[in-house]
Amino acid sequence: MTDKYESTVGQTADAVAPPPPHERRLSDAWKALKKAPLSAKIGIIVILIYVFIALFAPLLTPYGESEVVGAEFEPWGEGYLLGTDNLGRDMLTRLFYGARNTIGIAFVTTVLAFLIGGISGVLAATLGGWMDQLFSRIVDVLMAIPALIFALLLLTIFGTSIPVLVLVIAVLDSTRVYRLARAVSLNVVVMDFVEAARLRGEGMGWITLKEVLPNIMPPLVAEFGLRFCFVFLTIAALSFLGLGLQPPTADWGSMVRDNATLITYGDITPLIPAAAIALLTVAVNFVVDWFLHKTSGLRDDQ
Amino acid sequence: MTSSAENDGGLLLEMRGLRIEGQADEEWQEIVKGVDVVLNRGEVLGLIGESGAGKSTIGLAAMAFARPGCRISGGSIVFDGMDLMAMSERERRKLRGVRISYVAQSAAASFNPAHKLIDQFAEGPVEHGVRNRAEAEADAKDLYKRLLLPDPDNIGYRYPHQVSGGQLQRAMTAMAMACRPDLIIFDEPTTALDVTTQIEVLATIRNIVEQFNTAAIYITHDLAVVAQMADRIMVLRYGELVEENDTANMMSAPQEDYTKTLWAVRTFKKQSEIYDTSTTPLVAVDHVTAAYGPLTVLHDISFDIYEGQTVAVVGESGSGKSTAARVITGLLPPKQGQVLVKGEALPGDYRRRSKEQLRHAQMIYQMADTAINPKQRIREIIGRPLQFYLGLSGRDLEEKIKELLEMIELEPNQFIDRFPGELSGGQKQRICIARAMAAEPEFIICDEVTSALDQIVAEGILRLLDRLQRELGLSYMFITHDLATVRAIADEVIVMLQGKIVEHGPKDEMFTPPHHEYTDLLLSSVPEMDPNWLDELMERRAQEGVMQSTSSS
Amino acid sequence: MFKLLKIVLQRLGLGVLVLFIISVIIAGAVELLPGDLCQELQGQSATKETVAACRKELGLDKPVYHRYFVWLGNMLKGDFGVSLANGRQISELIGDRTANTFFLAIYAAIISVPLAVALGILAALHRNSIYDRVVNIVTLSSISFPEFFVAYILIIFFSVNLGWFPSLSNITPDTPLTEKMYKAFLPALTLTLVVVAHMMRMTRASIINLLASPYIEMANLKGMTRRHIITKHALPNAWAPIVNVIVINLAYLIVGVVVVEVVFVYPGLGQLIVDSVAKRDIPVVQACCVIFAATYIILNLTADILSIITNPRLLHPR
């Protein structure tokens, strides 16, 4: 009775249920992409265009970033496709360089926010105890003040340089990341496979990196998109208020501010950078929306 | 398929060629594939099947209702001569709750937390114009009494969260009865309850259905339960009918292979042995008291487990059986007492135990789904303890993993690179066993390892565990609420109640009277396949007056 | 009932504690200044004597905790100190502006809250309909728009092209209410547009969440009408989540005010704080921060307490 076919009945009952094994790799991602709704496809294309422009801005533009090339407020036309700004710099050139600066800084800030918030959130959930208490209470307090207001206070004190800007917004934004990372990790930490790893005697490194992290990636990836939008909008708002990126750096928020007078004459040129901001956030949001829908839908069969 | 449903009363419900689709990942997939359901007045039909068989979906279709994300895509539903598919939603609403009503699995979630029980009871009859408010209230109290709820005159004025699970389930049955429907759908009404609570709910449900001669569709995955409740049984699988027959014939002579495998489940029984208790036990739990904060959940318990022995710990939820396991593994350090392995005391906290001490005792969990990391391949899941404890790597590691897969009867090359998501429930549990075996332990705690599995699969797991025990000389601590499992695998049995051991002894002794009052209640509450079992039990209990002692549950 | 009271009191106590901690942070932030406030103020022209005099004047020669309690005590009396930029009493500076900002926020809230909640509930009830899908795309887009973009689009339409509303909201305390409402219409509309999308999406999500509850399914299976299910089963439980959504967005509104005020040159706190940050007029920034933060905390506290006292499990303990 000890042969391996003893429980063939159980085997047949088992064997029918699972789907055949398959490799989910790039081809599957491509398939999913093809099935994505129109809004998500548009979103992805728009994001790719922005990234392209940001990466190759110097090659795509006729002038230098802060080069004065003509008179102030030249209209659209040959030489200056989108006219010139309040100091006589080419709008299109600055728009392309603005992509680089605004997106780049927002991206760096978001990454930093994720490093700070993500790591501390996962650690707080896995370690629990006083560490969790300490982090969570600090975050509670930081979140009790509206982020923009807090940012204004800190910028007053430390001045408005790019490193200060990045650091202040990253820290303030990491509180949101912390909350999410902690919450989703808590759901994973109570799972039996984490308990099994603890009882095996595994250290913190293994548990957080190998057991918890892979299971919280989908919500974190989606959150990255949302946080990026938020950071991007915050930096744009601060620049618009004159408290973000400082001249002569090309930046979409300050471009709107600098040229706002044109609007009262019915000229929409200053709104182009604003629209550029809006279009990118819309695109990211469309993609995130689809991603969230997809990952939450897939949760059932996992 | 034979149908003996041509009894009295005439046809009540007739569903023909029923097809229902569910939406998954933006695509519609058929989850019920052309099933015929016929029901006469006063008849109780049992729908049985594993999860995913489509039985709840069919039950709801009898009310022409499809859950969000589902749609009835084909077939006819005729209730008492009325074609429900041809009706407007408005007309269907007038039938629901009045002539057809529904009892859900989770009473706690299905009652609105914002309203008192009696308000939710009265809502149906009052809104449908069947009774006025005062009549409905009086009726509620009458039904509460018939369903043996404690303090029937006042219990209705409580909020759902103020009432226990078993009582809530009966209150929901009363609510379903409020308009004296012709048909009630019972959707796993006792699945979430403990066995001793389940028995009372079953008895009262059956009683009231008989009193009012109500027809019912009783949905469950528990064969023994359906045998007590139904006149006729339909076995479903993957949205299709496997077999249909009246209960007696179905139980005694199933025709289809699949049905037979369901029925054949409880054949496995290990030969239990008596152990020499003069040697040092492998694991000794010595006067352990444990608590979660101020709440003491284990009161001074002691027991021993010897080499090669299987000790089953039984009890209902809250009995402390899982806490005992947490103390042994070191997840919950005891307040008093200690755990000894081969006579040597272990540190109370697992973090202070040595790698070697940890390796000795392994654990297999109830939910294989959550016990293995869905993002790791089988290779990594089984390989990790081999790396961690035994320091294997490279070819040695690969070979050992394959050896373990062979041991748990899974084809190594086919499974080694799969993710858990690509395995069935039983296969996942086998992976958990392999992971435990990889540590080469002497002692394994099995926490309800078969209760989440379909019975036929569970049987395979038990056989595997038994074989491994004989081959490797392992000791098991088997935590379970299922006495059939205990019968199958235990050498010794410990019965726990409210954090204390109420009875302890060799299996054969435990299953022969006389035993402790609670053991008796527990043993007798486990449904048996015999369709007359519930009747006989109720009769016996009525004579002995056992019912009163537990009706507060 | 006693338990409920205890929880509410606990929350209130916690709220006060948070306010206190926030005040410490706002006051303490100045201590993070590299160097010294007086040196910072005087810059290149600083001499030992002038710095010392300045320190004395601002009380910087006193220990930190002493300064903090003086500051806190004065603030509780309504005395926020003196502006570094123009030497005026801050309480004078912010008095009217605070009123203006609250006027604008309440104005926007009165339009947006009913609108957003109604549209959100409608979208949830008609889930996956064309209406719902359109609403999803539109709101998703509009939460992606920077406030100033929305503001300028409105200016181009309503002010430049149509000439219906002014693009500058230069109101004074003496402006009559109707004129105030007329002049503040575009800023209020901007805020409304920005906040409605957020509020609506959140309302929709929380209602859908609620409608997925088994007890709603049960009510359906009891043959209750749609109207009955919504009024008797959904709404009593929807209260808490909806209030929560509203409050979160009101808090958001308060912050969104900053950018909108700048665009429309609306004389509110937001303008003041932006100007003061640029001038590094720290006491004014601190005062504005205290007001914004306190409003924000009080709003969140209100949401907390409302959701506690509408929870049946706490209202009717076992």
Tell if the CB–CB gap between B261 and A21 is shorter than 8 Å.
no
Chains linked to C by 3 or more Cβ pairs within 8 Å: A, B
Element (H, E) at B417: none
Distance from CA of B1 to the nearest CA of A (A): 23
Per the rule left: phi > 0, alpha: psi between -120 and 50, beta: everything else, B504 is beta
Lowest pLDDT segment from A273-282, B282-291, B385-394, B454-463: B454-463
Residue-level pLDDT at A111: 94
Comparing CB atoms, the residue among C140, C149, C288 nearest residue A271 is: C149
Comparing CB atoms, the residue among A2, A9, A198 nearest residue B456 is: A9
Residue with tokens 């006149």: B231
Which residues of chain B make contact with C212, given a CB cutoff of 8 A? 68
CA C143/CA C154 separation, integer angstroms: 16
Total count of domains within chain A: 1
Residue A223's CB is within 10 A of a number of other CB atoms, namely 23
User: Measured between CB atoms, does A214 come within 8 Å of chain B?
Assistant: yes
Whether A19 shows a pLDDT value over 70: the answer reads no
Q: What is the DSSP letter of A90?
A: B
Q: What is the DSSP letter of B479?
A: E
Residue-level pLDDT at B550: 44
% chain B with pLDDT above 90: 28
Whether C126 shows a pLDDT value over 90: the answer reads no
Tell if the CB–CB gap between A214 and B426 is shorter than 8 Å.
no
Which residues of chain B make contact with C127, given a CB cutoff of 8 A? 68
Under 8 Å CB-to-CB from C31, ≥6 apart: which residues? Answer: C64
The β-bridge relationship of strands B443-447 and B361-364 is parallel
A133: its two tokens: 């208490």
Name the residue in chain A with its Cα closest to that of B425: A14
Which residues of chain A make contact with B448, given a CB cutoff of 8 A? none
Whether A24 shows a pLDDT value over 70: the answer reads no
3-state DSSP call for residue C34?
coil
Whether A299 shows a pLDDT value over 50: the answer reads no
Tell if the CB–CB gap between C140 and A270 is shorter than 8 Å.
no
Domains of chain B plus CATH, in order, are 11-112+175-265 (3.40.50.300), 283-377+428-512 (3.40.50.300)
Comparing CB atoms, the residue among B94, B95, B106 nearest residue C214 is: B106
The radius of gyration of chain A's CA atoms, rounded to the nearest angstrom, is 25
Tell if the CB–CB gap between C215 and B111 is shorter than 8 Å.
yes
Which residues of chain C make contact with A275, given a CB cutoff of 8 A? 149
Tell if the CB–CB gap between A201 and B329 is shorter than 8 Å.
no
Q: What is the mean pLDDT of chain B?
A: 85
Burial letters for A88-115: b for 16+ Cβ neighbours within 10 Å, e otherwise? ebbbbbbbbbbbbbbbebbbebbbbbbe
Which residues of chain A make contact with B384, given a CB cutoff of 8 A? 200
Per the model's pLDDT, the better-predicted residue between A177 and A258 turns out to be A177
CA B306/CA B1 separation, integer angstroms: 52
Name the residue in chain B with its Cα closest to that of C312: B114
CA B373/CA B390 separation, integer angstroms: 21
- Which is nearest to A73 in space by CA: A52, A93, A89, A53? A89
Residue B197's CB is within 10 A of a number of other CB atoms, namely 22
Residue of C132, C222, C239, C318 to mutate for B, most B C-beta atoms under 10 A: C222
Q: Which pLDDT band, with edges at 50, 70 and 90, does A297 fall under? A: very low
Q: What is the ipTM of this complex?
A: 0.79
B217 strand-pairing partners: B45, B185
User: Measured between CB atoms, does C236 come within 8 Å of chain B?
Assistant: yes
Lowest pLDDT segment from A280-284, B227-231, C251-255: C251-255
Contact B12, B182 (CB under 8 A): yes
Chains linked to A by 3 or more Cβ pairs within 8 Å: B, C
The mean pLDDT value for B110-115 works out to: 88
CB pairs under 8 A between A and B: 105
3-state DSSP call for residue A73?
coil
Contact C245, C149 (CB under 8 A): no
CA C257/CA C275 separation, integer angstroms: 14
Distance from CA of A198 to the nearest CA of C (A): 35
Name the residue in chain C with its Cα closest to that of B93: C223
CA C142/CA C140 separation, integer angstroms: 6
Residue-level pLDDT at B8: 53
Residue-level pLDDT at C42: 67
Per the model's pLDDT, the better-predicted residue between C87 and B160 turns out to be B160
Residue-level pLDDT at B117: 92
Whether B287 shows a pLDDT value over 80: the answer reads yes
Which residues of chain C make contact with A149, given a CB cutoff of 8 A? 255, 258, 273, 288-289, 292-293, 296
User: Measured between CB atoms, does C213 come within 8 Å of chain B?
Assistant: yes
Distance from CA of B270 to the nearest CA of A (A): 12
Tell if the CB–CB gap between A263 and C160 is shorter than 8 Å.
yes
Highest mean pLDDT out of B388-397, C125-134, C294-303: B388-397
- Which is nearest to C243 in space by CA: C212, C213, C207? C207
Residue B420's CB is within 10 A of a number of other CB atoms, namely 22
Per the model's pLDDT, the better-predicted residue between A32 and A216 turns out to be A216
Under 8 Å CB-to-CB from A121, ≥6 apart: which residues? Answer: A135, A177, A178, A179, A180, A181, A182, A183, A185
Tell if the CB–CB gap between B456 and A13 is shorter than 8 Å.
yes
Residue with tokens 């008492």: B80
Whether A204 shows a pLDDT value over 90: the answer reads no
Comparing CB atoms, the residue among B370, B388, B406 nearest residue A192 is: B370
A104: its two tokens: 């780049």
The CATH number of the domain holding residue A248 is: 1.10.3720.10
Comparing CB atoms, the residue among B353, B372, B422 nearest residue A18 is: B422
Residue with tokens 């068989």: B53
Residue-level pLDDT at A80: 66
Residue-level pLDDT at B140: 92
User: Measured between CB atoms, does B539 come within 8 Å of chain C?
Assistant: no
For residue A28, is it within any domain?
Answer: no
Tell if the CB–CB gap between A150 and C289 is shorter than 8 Å.
yes
C140 strand-pairing partners: none
Interface of A with B in 19-38 (CB under 8 A): 19, 21-22, 35
Tell if the CB–CB gap between B24 and A301 is shorter than 8 Å.
yes
**Between the CA of residue B147 and those of B101, B164, B209, B523, C227, what are the distances in Å?**
17, 14, 11, 23, 32
Which residues of chain B make contact with A201, given a CB cutoff of 8 A? 350, 353, 355, 358, 388
Residue-level pLDDT at B394: 86
Contact A232, C144 (CB under 8 A): no
Distance from CA of B161 to the nearest CA of C (A): 7
User: Measured between CB atoms, does B93 come within 8 Å of chain C?
Assistant: yes
Under 8 Å CB-to-CB from B277, ≥6 apart: which residues? Answer: B304, B306
Residue with tokens 């041809």: B86
Q: Which pLDDT band, with edges at 50, 70 and 90, does B364 fall under? A: very high
Residue-level pLDDT at A298: 36
Contact A245, A269 (CB under 8 A): no
Domain, as residue range, for A178: 39-296
% chain C with pLDDT above 90: 2
Domains of chain C plus CATH, in order, are 20-76 (no CATH), 95-315 (1.10.3720.10)
Burial letters for A130-164: b for 16+ Cβ neighbours within 10 Å, e otherwise? eebeebbeebebbbbbbbbbbbbbbbbbbebeeee
Residue of A46, A138, A157, A235 to mutate for C, most C C-beta atoms under 10 A: A157
Q: What is the pLDDT of residues C198-257, one digit of tens each?
A: 888 888 888 888 888 889 999 999 989 888 888 888 888 887 788 888 887 887 787 778
Residue B178's CB is within 10 A of a number of other CB atoms, namely 25
Name the residue in chain B with its Cα closest to that of A7: B460
Per DSSP, helices labelled H in chain A are 8-16, 26-35, 38-60, 91-98, 104-127, 129-143, 147-158, 162-189, 192-200, 204-206, 213-240, 252-258, 271-298
Burial class (CB in 10 A: 0-12, 13-18, 19+), C119: buried
Residue with tokens 């015929």: B36
Tell if the CB–CB gap between A214 and B427 is shorter than 8 Å.
no
Tell if the CB–CB gap between C237 and B112 is shorter than 8 Å.
yes
Distance from CA of C42 to the nearest CA of B (A): 59
Residues in chain A: 302
CA B81/CA B99 separation, integer angstroms: 13
Residue-level pLDDT at B196: 80
Distance from CA of B224 to the nearest CA of C (A): 27
The mean pLDDT value for B48-72 works out to: 85
Tell if the CB–CB gap between A253 and C146 is shorter than 8 Å.
yes
For residue A4, is it within any domain?
Answer: no
A275: its two tokens: 């629209």
- Which is nearest to B337 in space by CA: C159, B426, B345? B345
Interface of B with C in 130-159 (CB under 8 A): 159
Residue-level pLDDT at B197: 81
Q: Which pLDDT band, with edges at 50, 70 and 90, does B548 fall under? A: very low
Contact B318, B493 (CB under 8 A): no
Tell if the CB–CB gap between B98 and C223 is shorter than 8 Å.
yes
Which residues of chain A make contact with C282, given a CB cutoff of 8 A? 156-157
Residue-level pLDDT at A17: 38
Residue B198's CB is within 10 A of a number of other CB atoms, namely 22
- Which is nearest to A231 in space by CA: A166, A163, A155? A166
Tell if the CB–CB gap between A210 and B376 is shorter than 8 Å.
yes
Q: What totals of helices (H) and strands (E) does chain B contain, helices first?
A: 23, 20
The mean pLDDT value for B298-303 works out to: 91
CB pairs under 8 A between B and C: 78
Name the residue in chain A with its Cα closest to that of C285: A153
Tell if the CB–CB gap between B374 and A215 is shorter than 8 Å.
yes
